[in-house]
Amino acid sequence: MTSLGSLTEFVASQDELVREAALTLPHEFSRCTYSLGPIRQAVYLCLTCELPRGLCSSCSIACHTDHEQIELFPKRNFRCDCPTTAVPHGCTLHRGLEEENRENSYNQNFRSIFCRCSRPYDPTSERETMIQCLTCEDWFHESCLHLRVRPSSREASPVLENEVTDHHNDAGDNQSEASSSGLPPPLISAEDYDAFVCSSCVHSIDILRRYAGTQGVIMVVRDAEDSPWKKLGGIPLGADAPTTTEDELLDVDDSLAAPGQKRSRTQSLHLEEPDRKKQHISPEPSSPCLAPAPNPIAQTISQGLQRPSDTKASLGAGDVFLTEGWRERWCRCSRCFPSLADRPYLLEEEETYEPPEDPDSALSLEELGMRALQRLPRDRAIDGIRAFNDMRDDLLAYLRPFAQEGRIVGEADVKEFFEALRENKHSS
């Protein structure tokens, strides 16, 4: 604790801590989400509990406060595991013990492993920005997506005083952040795309394989194993879009692919846009297919990925980056629509649950104390007020010599006062 020049400075510092806490945790964490069923919500992995299971925001704070946890960020169709038999630590927010969740999906993130490289994630040392796949919701390093050269050091990136780290988009907390810490930007920055889908998920979705590498569905490719990585299909489709060739390639020298900054841990969850126009989700069977012609480079990479021994697979990983407005551009003919209908999040923006706002989050400690005092029985409230006044008088008497002599009140002085207070209480 840093020594403070006066009691006023100490009180001001405590008020600032209360304000920061209100901004960091503005929600009310008093209700487990289990009763809401499978929903898209922020999920926390508890490393202390025996089985790797997921907790909702409220249970991560109310039930597992002293446990080691990792924030996995939003997961769709997930039901909180805290009140179930899978978690030996009893839930304090949900009444009754529930059966183990059979419909939850537990990918490698629930073993504290991320990306196709299967590296464990350590927020204290991870230097790279990580990007969440829209479909499987796993997290990927920029270097594994060929957006940067992997950092040679695992030390955290420098953070400048005015660095901006809060980026948000339609698909949720899944975008890369452009470096603002003096490092060159990645090959594809947050401003270039709206959602990311990893190659494994692209391969499993027909319409994504068809659109890969076309305008508005960016891929990272190269001409040969010793060539620099390039962007393919960077211009979105649309009447107002500039005219460019479909397989236009934009060269980016590997020397600019410097490591990215550490991913921000304060990004907010998905915020609903009430005025956003909802996309129609019905097929158009009578209309002709409006999907663009398959990109030959993307198709070559896709075929190479199906044959691991094929050297063509080294020309690209097969990931795609969807640009702004991608949901409006899908073809909805009878051939294309089925692969969209199986995955509603490709047609319509998902809602992500957030705990309700805490009406008390902006109150000071004094206001919270007064509110608690008003709820006590009258005799106990009078005893509490008398005890507070006695402590106040003792504190003023203790601090008076410091003020008269111009001495600084330090941590040892504060501890000495409360130790004496405790000793007097025991002796009486």
For the residues 362-389, what does the mean pLDDT come to?
A: 69
Check pLDDT > 70 for residue 172.
no
The answer to whether 260 touches 128, Cβ cutoff 8 Å, is yes
Q: Please tell me the distance from the alpha carbon of residue 363 to that of residue 377, in angstroms, as a whole number.
A: 23
pLDDT of residue 321: 97
Least confident of 85-99, 158-172, 392-406: 158-172
Check pLDDT > 60 for residue 2.
no
Least confident of 17-31, 132-146, 220-234, 327-341: 17-31
For the residues 334-343, what does the mean pLDDT come to?
A: 91
pLDDT of residue 263: 38
The model's confidence at residue 302, banded by pLDDT at 50, 70 and 90, is: confident
C-alpha dist (Å) from residue 76 to 37, 42, 106, 344? 11, 9, 11, 11
CB atoms within 10 A of CB 125: 11
For the residues 107-118, what does the mean pLDDT come to?
A: 93
The values of phi and psi at residue 393, to 5°, are -65, -40
pLDDT of residue 306: 64
Structure tokens at 51: 């089985």
C-alpha dist (Å) from residue 38 to 53, 102, 105? 14, 11, 11
Q: Please tell me the distance from the alpha carbon of residue 182 to that of residue 4, in angstroms, as a whole number.
A: 35
pLDDT in tens, 306-324: 665 555 558 899 999 999 9
The answer to whether 197 touches 133, Cβ cutoff 8 Å, is yes
The answer to whether 292 touches 246, Cβ cutoff 8 Å, is yes
CB atoms within 10 A of CB 273: 9
pLDDT in tens, 194-241: 999 999 999 999 999 999 999 999 999 999 888 999 999 866 644 344
CB atoms within 10 A of CB 345: 16
